[in-house]
Structure 1
């Protein structure tokens, strides 16, 4: 993830604060809401990391075939990552 968890927590607090100020949401327990928003943001922001890990596992399984055919690892990484992003309907 490109942001620290502390920064994501800050973003979540500011988002909740702004939404409450604009009366778009209401909560009796803003601390709980801040925590839930932060968890959701962390989950979404870490999606690319999880996709990258899955790509590495896939390419490791096909490592011998790639060597035999002379396929470029970086090129294959990009292709598999794009395919998984499409599969998960992720915007990276």
Structure 2
């Protein structure tokens, strides 16, 4: 994940604070809401890490074929990552 968990927590608190102050949402338990938003944001931001791990596993399986054909690892990484992002409907 490109952000620290502390920073994601800060972003979540600021988001909740803004939404409450603009009366877009209402909550009697702001602490619980902050925690839920933080967890959701962390999960969403970790998606790219999970996709990268899956790409590495896929490319490891095709490592020999890539070596034989002279395929570039960075290029293949980017292509496979884009395909997985489409599969998971993720915006990276």
- The TM-score range, normalised by the shorter chain, is over 0.9
Question: What residue in structure 1 maps to residue 13 of structure 2?
Answer: 13
1:4 Cα offset (Å): 0.4
Q: What CA distance in whole angstroms lies between the structure 2 residues aligned with 1:14 and 1:87? A: 32
Secondary structure of 2:23's counterpart equals: coil
Moved over 3 A (4+): none
Aligned residues: 92
The one-character-per-residue Cα deviations of 1:26-49 (angstroms, maximum 9, x if unpaired) are 111100000000001011111111
Q: Does 1:79 align with 2:83?
A: no
Distance in 2 (alpha carbons) for counterparts of 1:69 and 1:53: 23
Q: Which residue of 2 aligns with 1:60?
A: 60
Structure 1: 5+ residue stretches without partners: none
Gaps in structure 2 of 5+ consecutive residues: none
Structural RMSD (CA): 0.6
